[in-house]
Chain A
Amino acid sequence: MTDQKIRVLIAKPGLDGHDRGAKVVARALRDAGMEVIYTGIRQTPEMIAEAALQEDVDVIGLSILSGAHMELFPRVINALKEREIGPDDVLLFAGGIIPDDDIPRLKQLGFQAVFGPGTSTEDVITFVRDWAGARAIGTA
């Protein structure tokens, strides 16, 4: 009997120490039946990529409030690539304080969605579920 579970990594790169949003999303995804790995605050891009590799996650959500996303997110993507994890292997999304102007560039980098303040957790759950459903059909 195969028991497939969506595994999600929620990580906070950089130096800001406010992880309330990250925890809210982590709990919401857990309550939606997913297995959520939460790594805590102040993660380097290498630590995030390494956790994603070891945990073999399907989804990575990055939360950032410090404004350093354009600096740190590309480094996370590169650290993932160094570990043979590309945009086809994982669903990437971002959350936190991210100006609209930066969103096109983040989408180019491989982020499928950027959730700002006030996003309902239902939106995040639906987003992840839709992607997982599409992938299941694609591989069947």
Chain B
Amino acid sequence: MAEDVDALVERLLAGNRRALARILTQIENDAPAGRRALSLLYPRSGRAHTVGLTGSAGSGKSTLVAALARVLRARGKTLCIVAIDPTSPFSQGALLGDRIRMQELTADREVFLRSMATRGNLGGLAPATAGIVTALDAFGKDAVIVETVGAGQDEVEVAAMADTTVVVLTPGSGDDVQAMKAGIMEIADVLVVNKSDLPNADLLARQLRSIVEASRSGRPTPIVRTASALGEGIEALADALEEHRAYIEQPEVRAAHRRAQARHQVLALARQRLIDRVVTMHSGDGRLDDLIAQVAARRLDPHSAADALIRE
């Protein structure tokens, strides 16, 4: 098995797209082959500009990514796109429809598009996204764009993985400015007012500007107005991404950014491994169910139950 994976990794590094696609599946399934592939690919990653794009459902992210991809291609950039859609909590199935809006990109050999389901993860990203991005990065394209589920919260995950985080907002949804206050602001490297042909786009842009000016020290977050369905403002967005990239390429900024990313990834994976271990250990012996029942019956508090679970 290991030899198969190693050969597949060689083919990926030589530019074979089928090998890349098959490795992505192994990584997504968290299979041993996927972990082996990642261990080989990780040292070869870190060259692509990784861009995370997030925003609420219906904010036009897919259309924006498609329009952005066209502009980047016109500028001679090669790219990979990861489009994430939710897994149904009821059936565990998913309908992944982002290719519909990115149809003409399929004919372009310099664009590789992969759809992913969240598979039960709440943060707007699928659990394997960081690994998927590593493989796409090592594949050698200029940029990797990750379009997340519009979860609205907890998208700190995106920022922890991407070089540049884009938050997409639309006029007329009051939630957006609420979300700003709740912390999305801190993760945005570029703010986009999409559907800026709609009424109240000016108002939203002004509100954002006042928040940016009030809250940020150092580099002010650029605000770009786009109408992705009309193809407007996309050049300006591509410029803003380039500018941010130049900013984080400064040695001291880059070192701090990479360390923060690495720290987040290692801790997130360690957390997951610990949880898996505890759950596996205590599912078999019924201890987990027993503690849960005690907490549900108010005989034990959740903190004590968690302590008991880890101590044993």
Binding site for B on A (CB under 8 A): 1-5, 7, 26-27, 29-40, 43-44, 46-47, 50-51, 53-56, 83-85
A30-B93, A55-B114, A56-B21 given. 12 additional CB < 8 A pairs?
A: A2-B30, A26-B95, A31-B91, A35-B93, A36-B94, A37-B96, A40-B97, A47-B106, A53-B21, A54-B106, A54-B112, A54-B114
Q: Is the CB of B18 within 8 A of A35?
A: no
Contact sample, A vs B, 26 pairs, CB 8 Å cutoff: A2-B29, A2-B32, A3-B30, A5-B29, A5-B117, A7-B25, A27-B95, A30-B88, A30-B95, A31-B91, A31-B93, A32-B91, A34-B93, A35-B87, A35-B115, A36-B94, A36-B95, A36-B96, A37-B97, A39-B99, A39-B100, A43-B103, A54-B17, A56-B24, A84-B18, A85-B18
Cβ contacts under 8 Å, A40 to chain B: 97, 99-100, 103
Q: Which of B80-99 contact A (CB under 8 A)?
A: 87-88, 91-97, 99
In the bound assembly, the distance between CA atoms of A55 and B98 in angstroms comes to 12
A32 to B30, CA, bound (A): 22
**B24/A33 in contact, CB under 8 A:** no
What residues on A are CB-neighbors of B31 within 8 Å? 2
Residues of B within 8 A of A29 (CB): 93
Q: Which residue from chain B places its CB closest to the CB of A30 in the assembled complex?
A: B93
The smallest C-beta distance from B81 to any residue of chain A, in angstroms, reads 10
Contact status B107-A47, CB under 8 Å: yes
Enumerate chain A residues within 8 angstroms of B254, measured Cβ to Cβ: none
A55 engages B93 (CB within 8 Å)? no
Known: A2-B30, A53-B18. A38 touches B103 (CB 8 A): no
From B32, B88, B103, contact of A47 by CB (8 A): B103
Alpha-carbon separation in the docked complex, A39 to B107 (Å):
13
B119 contacts chain A at the CB level, 8 A cutoff = yes
Residues of A within 8 A of B115 (CB): 35, 37, 55
- In whole Å, how far is A70's beta carbon from the nearest beta carbon of chain B? 24
Question: Is residue B282 contacting chain A, with contact meaning CB distance below 8 A?
Answer: no
Distance to closest chain A CB from B206 (angstroms): 37
- In the bound complex, what is the Cα–Cα distance between A4 and B28 (angstroms)? 9
Q: Which residues of B lie under 8 Å from residue A4 when comparing CB positions? A: 29
**Does chain A have a CB within 8 A of B287?**
no
Q: A30-B93, A30-B94, A56-B21 are in contact. Are A50 and B30 (CB under 8 A)?
A: no
B1-21 residues at the A interface, CB under 8 angstroms: 17-18, 21
Residue of A nearest to B16 (CB): A84
**C-alpha gap A2/B119 in the complex (Å):** 12
